[in-house]
Amino acid sequence: MGTADVLVVDDDDMIRTLLLDVMRDEGYTARGASNGREALEECERRLPELLLLDLTMPVLDGYGVLRQLDQGNWPWFPVIVVSGNAEASRSLSSRVTAVFRKPVDLDPLCREVKSVLKLEDGAAG
């Protein structure tokens, strides 16, 4: 069994780098995107098993990413929103399994990532 692929999408370089480092330290394969358009391009190259998604970004924001994932012909994969946006909620999309407010507490985020990926692994096999 390989490591889970996590796509981290945030326009803030420091936050994106921090989350990438944390995901890699947790043993996941992690790659990043700085806006929603890059995120969708990454998803086209290789579907992630989990998306960590900011909502407020240039080019295409997280709301647009969720709309395109929900309205397009994309296979389902979970999304954890990590955003400073006070309006963020799980009701944004059926893909959203959790919402974490910035500044994010990394321990609960890592527990949620692990839980979601275990559920996905269990659902797949």
Report the domain count for the chain.
1
**Distance between CA atoms of 65 and 78, rounded to whole angstroms?**
13
Parts of the chain with a pLDDT under 70? 1-2, 122-125
- Enclosing H/E stretch for 124: helix 106-124
| Domain around 59 | 5-124
Strand 29-33 versus strand 5-9 pairing type: parallel
Give the pLDDT score at 122: 59
The pLDDT score that the predictor gives to residue 2 is: 56
Residue 41 belongs to domain with CATH number: 3.40.50.2300
